[in-house]
Each structure stands twice: as structure tokens, then as C-alpha cells.
């Protein structure tokens, strides 16, 4: 999976962590970190090799950790079915 972003003049992305959250719960105590990629200066993407479990329905939280302590979060619905 590739996560791409655009660095701005005021801040730049330093790391991209990914989390899975069970659907219907929306609680952070059941949130599981899948991976995190540090971002070297000048790069505008993070590349992840993920092993998503089969027969899964979850939310995928993608965080952009930026300089200055800012974070940006995008939540996607993920479904994996092998039926």
C-alpha cells in the first residue's frame, strides 16, 4: 500500500503510522498499530507491505505525523473477503 502526501511550507511529514480499528466500536482501546514508516526529508510517500487478515471488516486509520506536533488522520473502511 502506498500513502502519498504533499509537504507544505509550514510543516513536513516525519512519519506515517497505520492502525486497524474494529468496525462498530470506534474505541481506541481496541485499536491495533499495523506499521509505521519514518519519512526522510524530501520524500512525499510511504510504502507499506501489509498482511491484512482474511475475512476482515475494519477501519484503517492513516496518520501523518508532521513537524510542529501536528497530525492529520484519514479513516478508510477496509474489507477483506476470501469466500
Listed as ranges, residues in the chain with pLDDT below 70 are: 25-28, 52-53, 82-83
Rounded to an integer, what distance in angstroms lies between the CA atom of residue 8 and that of residue 66?
10
- pTM of the predicted model as reported, rounded to 2 decimal places: 0.81
Q: 35: which 3 cell numbers?
A: 506499521
CA dihedral for 67, 69, 70, 76, sign (positive or negative): positive
pLDDT of residue 27: 67
pLDDT of residue 25: 59
Rounded to an integer, what distance in angstroms lies between the CA atom of residue 78 and that of residue 75?
10
Contact 17, 39 (CB under 8 A): no
Contact 48, 54 (CB under 8 A): no
Amino acid at each position: 500500500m502506498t500513502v502519498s502526501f504533499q509537504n507544505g511550507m509550514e510543516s513536513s511529514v516525519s512519519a506515517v503510522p497505520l492502525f486497524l480499528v474494529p468496525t462498530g466500536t470506534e474505541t481506541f482501546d481496541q485499536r491495533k498499530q499495523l506499521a509505521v514508516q519514518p519519512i526522510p526529508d524530501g520524500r512525499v510517500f510511504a510504502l507499506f507491505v501489509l498482511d491484512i487478515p482474511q475475512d476482515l471488516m475494519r477501519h484503517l486509520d492513516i496518520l501523518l505525523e508532521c513537524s510542529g506536533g501536528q497530525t492529520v488522520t484519514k479513516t478508510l473502511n477496509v474489507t477483506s473477503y476470501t469466500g
